[in-house]
Structure 1
Amino acid sequence: MSGLTDVAEIDRAIQLAIAPAFLMTGVFGLITILANRLARLIDRERAVRAGTAAPQMDEQRFIALRARHLHRAIGSCVLAAFLLALLIVMSFVGILLQLNVAWVLAGLLVLAMVSMMIALLLLLMEIGLAFRHLPLAHDV
């Protein structure tokens, strides 16, 4: 391979890596949202346990269930980010070693998106639990 071809191949690999890198930015944003929600739950649980906040009926059970959903959602997002990073690595490896990795790349992208969808569903479930636990939720 000539030097010019090497540069063209690397340029192509970089172009292919841009979309998954942008997707990773979105995943990291979702992780931030999930971590903030989890931190607020932990703060609330500590305040209830310390007696500085009045607990609502069955609140500790709801907090634990919500925290479990958030923990799983964060794990699912981390898995999605890992799969996207692996996709970027595999695209470079495929181009540099002249391997046909199209099916591998497609599979990694599909798995990353499924993992992201699971995280979003877990977030939706956690929000539903939070809404049901609101005192106002019973009035609607």
Structure 2
Amino acid sequence: MNIQLGDIGHIIQLAIAPVFLLTGVCTNLTVLINRLARIIDRSRVLEDRLDVAYNDTYLNELDVLYRRSHLINWSITLSTATGLFVCLVIALLFIGDTTNFTLDKYIAGMFVAGVFSLIGSFGFLLREIFIASSWMRDHRHIRQPRTDNG
């Protein structure tokens, strides 16, 4: 099959939207990985403190951090799956336009699977944010304003 320059231009135009989606997915992965890193850092601090002295508050916070890390891990997994599906969509667009194969259903299926994966990723992220916010709200310390006696 002989591919014309116009055909390649058309393929690239079709691939632009999934590439923008892939950029957004990568940004989402960066946010998720940063959140996971913060959770891990805080867990290490609390575990070190528990090595010195037992404290129920530290144990409770560790339980919350473990739940949060579990949710973030699921979100990272689904975001990565989204990226994989989008890359497959882009590859299938090129394969479908450069060969005689009809891949429209596969392309649509991969795109829908990617969108559902992204929705799931955002759902897990949102749940993790709610847990973090709830913990912070429930354990805030009301501090008395400092007064200078001088």
Indicate whether the TM-score tops 0.5: yes
Instruction: Kindly state the Cα deviation for residue 34 of structure 1 after the two structures are TM-superposed.
Output: 0.4
Structure 2 partner of 1:32: 30
- Unmatched runs of 5 consecutive residues or more in structure 2: 141-150
Identify the range of structure 1 (54-63 vs 34-43) with the bigger mean alpha-carbon deviation. Answer: 54-63
Given candidates 67, 70, 73, the residue that maps to 2:72 is: 70
Residue number among 44, 49, 60 corresponding to 1:58 in the alignment? 60
TM-score by length of 1: 0.89
* Aligned residue pairs, count: 135
2:20 and 2:84 map into 1 onto residues whose CA distance is 14
**Paired residue secondary structure (2:4):** helix
**3-state SS, counterpart of residue 132 of structure 1:** helix
Match of 1:114 in 2: 116
Match of 1:96 among 83, 91, 98: 98
Identity among equivalent positions (%) equals 31
- Judge conservation of contact 2:86–2:110 (CA < 8 Å) in 1: yes
Q: Out of 81, 85, 92, which is 1:79 matched to?
A: 81
Among 124, 127, 131, the alignment partner of 2:126 is: 124
CA–CA distance in structure 1, aligned partners of residues 100 and 21 of structure 2: 25
Q: How does 1:8-47 map to 2 (within 5 A)?
A: 8-47=6-45
Q: Please say which structure displays the higher CA radius of gyration.
A: 2
